[in-house]
Amino acid sequence: MRQTLSVAICVIVSLVVLAIATRYVHPHWMLATLHSLQLHAALACVAAMLFALILSRNLLSYALLAASLFLVGHSLYIGREVASSPTEAEAAGPGFRLMSFNILSENYENGAAIAQAIIGSGADIVNIMEAEPLLNSLGQISETYPYRVGCGVMVDDCDQLMLSKVPLRNATVRSLSGIFDNRFIMAEVTLQGRTIHVGGIHTTKPYFDNFHTLELMRAALAVTDTDGPLVLSGDFNASSLAPNMIGFLQWTDLRTAAWEQATWPVRAGKFGVPIDHVYVRAPLKIRTLTRMPDALGSNHDGLIADIVITGR
């Protein structure tokens, strides 16, 4: 019985390891979600193989344990490669605050509470996805954030929304694919005496054929068409471990915090997956990145990023 159970675990783990390993040969959209979950899946494989070794020790079990540990290590390595932290001296420099939150389009009962959370966030820039529950609170929000794109400004629909305490200049709204419209906003602001490009994005889910990669490519073209400090935040529906996300970050020279916060699913807490991101381009660096204390009925946790302007 012990031998049979050990073999069964080895078979399951070998299939998971092989599926993850396809990223090194030819990443396919059908496995994109698993690639985003590489760290979680690899850790589960490590735990499974340790249990399998307790049941029965053999060469295959050790080999699968080694492969699982490699995948864990590579996940951590990727996390370091896409991150950039300020030095102690840089962290003491001037900066600004950004809030990014997918509030869930049908979350109407919490619309007023979300509006209050936005107003009280202290953020200079706010990016909201699926913003329709805020329709009745826009007047109140505008007292703190008099400038916006979305929800009747530049676009009629209330989905992607950018709010600002300072004027939003040269704003553009793009549709990244034919699945959803107007889910990419770019604008310029002046903060701490510097012109900063700010972007808000909401990509489609990675298991919708190759649309996720297509949207990232179009967003990358828009990002690389700008120079200087830039911050891009939103719901990417994928972790930074996904191959197309790594390509996007390399192409755009964007970096994230030293440790990204898990944002989905909410009930998983800190053990969830970071699929909502705040990315910055030099000379910006993320001083702190934290989850909002309450998801307020959304299926995503919101993020608060304190961003420092280095290289002044």
pLDDT per residue as tens digits for the range 129-144: 999 999 999 999 999 9
Amino acid in the structure at residue 145: Y
SS3 133: helix
The Cα angle at residue 12 between residues 209 and 274, in degrees rounded to 5: 50
Name which of 34, 2, 39 is nearest 15 in CA terms.
34
Query: Residue ranges per domain, the chain?
Result: 2-81, 88-309
pLDDT per residue as tens digits for the range 169-210: 999 999 999 899 999 999 999 999 999 999 999 999 988 778
- 226 CA to centre of own chain: 21
Question: pLDDT-derived band of residue 312, with 50, 70 and 90 as boundaries?
Answer: low
| Residue-by-residue DSSP string for 137-185 | GHHHHHTT--EEEBTTBSSSSSSSEEEESS--EEEEEE--SSSSSS-EE
Q: Average pLDDT, whole number, for the chain?
A: 94
Compare 1 and 266 and report the one with higher pLDDT: 266
Q: Bridge partners of 29?
A: none
pLDDT at 59: 87
CA atoms within a 13 Å half-sphere pointing along the CA-CB vector of 62: 3
What average pLDDT does range 81-85 have in this prediction? 90
Residue 184 belongs to what H/E stretch?
Answer: strand 184-191
The model's pTM = 0.94
Task: Reply yes or no on domain 88-309 having CATH 3.60.10.10.
Answer: yes
pLDDT at 27: 84
Taking the C-alpha atoms of residue 45 and residue 82, their distance in angstroms, rounded to an integer, is: 24
Do 279 and 256 meet the contact criterion of CB atoms below 8 Å apart?
yes
User: In whole angstroms, how large is the CA radius of gyration of the chain?
Assistant: 21
